[in-house]
Structures are given as structure tokens and as C-alpha cells.
Amino acid sequence: MSPSPQFRALVFSLLLAMNPSVQADYIFNMTPGVTEISRGIHNLHMVIFWICVAIGLVVFSVMFYAIIWHRKSRGAKAANFHENTLVEIIWTLIPFSILTMMAIPAAQLLIKMHDTKTDSDLSIKIVGHQWYWEYEYLGEGVRVISRLSTPQEQIQNRDIKNPHYLREVDNHLVVPQKKKIRFLTTANDVIHSWWVPALGVKKDAIPGFINEAWAKIEEPGIYRGQCAELCGVLHGFMPIVIEVKTEAEYQTWLLEKKALMNNHPTIGHTP
């Protein structure tokens, strides 16, 4: 009997996974991102990860040592003691101090992440809609409606999918580099969540509430994200694309956008 197609596919994918050149394409870890905060999150994640690895090694070493060298078949007799105050104090103090060590850098980073009050250079109101994003540049009179731009032919498998399939929009959120941008998120209908991993920002957009986040992006480029709160049938079809420009390019873009909106006041106002 020849192996089933499923079995052959499994063997093939396992062989493929063992190939070093294929492994190079996989990144299992979180990425450091492009802001000070996202790097801070990544570093904290790595520190906590290695603390967990160390705890795991210590606990499992002691456990396997006890299981192997002090097993009953070797004639080991279990110690029988209760209410040993010293032991109880030690096994309370050790986890307590480990948790405190973890909490200090985590709290420092959280405070930094939530500090939207100081020195922000511009504020952008982000409104989640079923199913697109709306960006309003506060004080500038500029509004951008950002919708999925992947053609229906690709979604319905009638055309070849492009590399940014379902992660591309008609109008990017354009922002300047090296400026502290304050994001104010809210929603028009149901709860959405504005998530851009490279910025280390994930903020719920809740109707009737305004949440705050911020980012200061060092390098120009395009960064992508998506809605991260199940918001209805097209939840997976409202991506986020941020285009970071140099300050001069951003000012030019803003002027062009303002001129366009003055000439056509309905642009960006109607979904």
C-alpha cells in the first residue's frame, strides 16, 4: 500500500523544514520594530524570556535529579516534614524577588508608553469604522479615508496575489519621521483596535471613548498593521499602512492635501 497524499505532504514539509535555507526565512521571535518604545518592548520580552528559561532549567534540573537519583526503586526514603518556617520563607522570598525584578523595568516601560502628554509634535485622530480607518490630522483640517485596495480578483483567487495581499490601502497614513506623533483612537460603530507591530502600538478604538498612544519613528519607510479586534465580517479587510516621510516631504504632502481638501471639501468627508 502506498502512503497517502497527506502523509507524503507531511514528510515533504518536515524535510523542507529541516533545510537550513528554509529555516532562514522563518522568524519565530517578535521583531524589534522601528521606535525606541518598540525596541524597549522587544528587549523586555527577551529579558523576561531568559529569566523564564533560567527558572525552567533550575526547576527541571532539580526535578529530574530527584526523580532519577532518589527514586523509590533505588531505596530512597521520602523526607517527612511539615510547617518548616525557614523553607516557607525562602520559597516565598525567591519568587517575590524575581517578580519584583521583572516588574520594575516593565513598569518603567509602561509609563513611557503611556506618556502622551509631553512634547507631542502632532496629533492624529484615528477612527475605526466597519470596515476602514479614518485619519484626521488635528488642527490641520486634513482627513484621510484609508480602505483596503487589494483587487477583488485576487481575493477571489482569479488573479495572482501580490506580496502585500490584504495589507495594502488606497490612502496611506502619512507621518513625518523623528516627530512625536500622538494617536487618539476611537470608533464609529463597534470596537476596533489599531495595531502596528513595528511601532509597538496596539490601541483599542472604542465608540464613545478616546484612547491615546504615541510613536516617534526614526526611519522613513512603509510600516503595516491591521485591525486587532474582531469587529465584524470584514475585520480581516481593514489593514493599516503608515508611510513615514522626511519632515520636508511631509510638509509638502500636507500642503498638497490641504489644497486638495479646500478645492474639494467633500474629499475625505464621505466614506
User: Between 132 and 214, whose beta carbon lies closer to Cu ion?
Assistant: 132
Q: How far apart are CA 114 and CA 88, in angstroms?
A: 38
The answer to whether residue 241 forms part of the interface with Cu ion (CB under 5 A) is no
Report the nearest approach of Cu ion to the CB of residue 129 (Å): 8
Should residue 231 be labelled a site residue for Cu ion when binding is judged by CB under 5 A? yes
Nearest CB to Cu ion, comparing residues 227 and 261: 227
| Minimum CB distance to Cu ion smaller for 182 or for 192 | 192
Q: Does 187 bind Cu ion (CB under 5 A)?
A: no
Binding residues with Cu ion: total (CB under 5 A):
3
Question: What is the secondary structure of the chain as a DSSP string?
Answer: -PPPHHHHHHHHHHHHHHSHHHHTT---SPP--SSHHHHHHHHHHHHHHHHHHHHHHHHHHHHHHHHHHT-GGGT---------HHHHHHHHHHHHHHHHHHHHHHHHHHHHHT--SS--SEEEEEEEETTEEEEEETTTTEEEEE-B---HHHHTTSSPPPTTTTS-BSS-EEEETTSEEEEEEEESSS-EEEEEGGGTEEEEE-BT--EEEEEE--S-EEEEEEE-S--STTGGG--EEEEEE-HHHHHHHHHHHHHHHHHSTTTTT--
Q: Which residues pair with 244 in a beta bridge?
A: 175, 221
Smallest gap from residue 227 Cβ to Cu ion (A): 3
Q: Which of 145, 144, 218, 148 is nearest to 181 (CA)?
A: 218
Q: Which of 164-172, 173-181, 219-227, 262-270 is the region at the interface with Cu ion (rule: CB under 5 A)?
A: 219-227
Please state the closest distance from residue 201 (CB atom) to Cu ion, in A.
Answer: 15
Q: Does 227 bind Cu ion (CB under 5 A)?
A: yes
Q: How far is the CB of 150 from Cu ion (least distance, A)?
A: 16
Task: Count Cβ atoms below 10 Å from residue 219 Cβ, excluding itself.
Answer: 11
* Site for Cu ion, residues 190 to 209, rule: CB under 5 A: 192
Residue at 270: amino acid letter: T
Binding mask 114-143 for Cu ion (x = CB under 5 A): ------------------------------
Shortest Å, Cβ 229 to Cu ion: 6
* Least Å from the CB of residue 122 to Cu ion: 24
Task: Identify which of residues 34 and 201 has a Cβ nearer to Cu ion in the complex.
Answer: 201
Q: Which is nearer to Cu ion, 34 or 205 (CB)?
A: 205
Of the candidate spans 141-149, 151-159, 184-192, 239-247, the one that interacts with Cu ion by CB under 5 A turns out to be 184-192
Question: Is residue 172 a contact point for Cu ion (CB under 5 A)?
Answer: no
Is residue 245 a contact point for Cu ion (CB under 5 A)? no
Nearer to Cu ion, 34 or 196 (CB): 196
Give min distance, CB of 222 to Cu ion, in A: 21
CA distances from 58 to 43, 46, 93 (A): 23, 18, 16
Site residues for Cu ion per CB under 5 A: 192, 227, 231
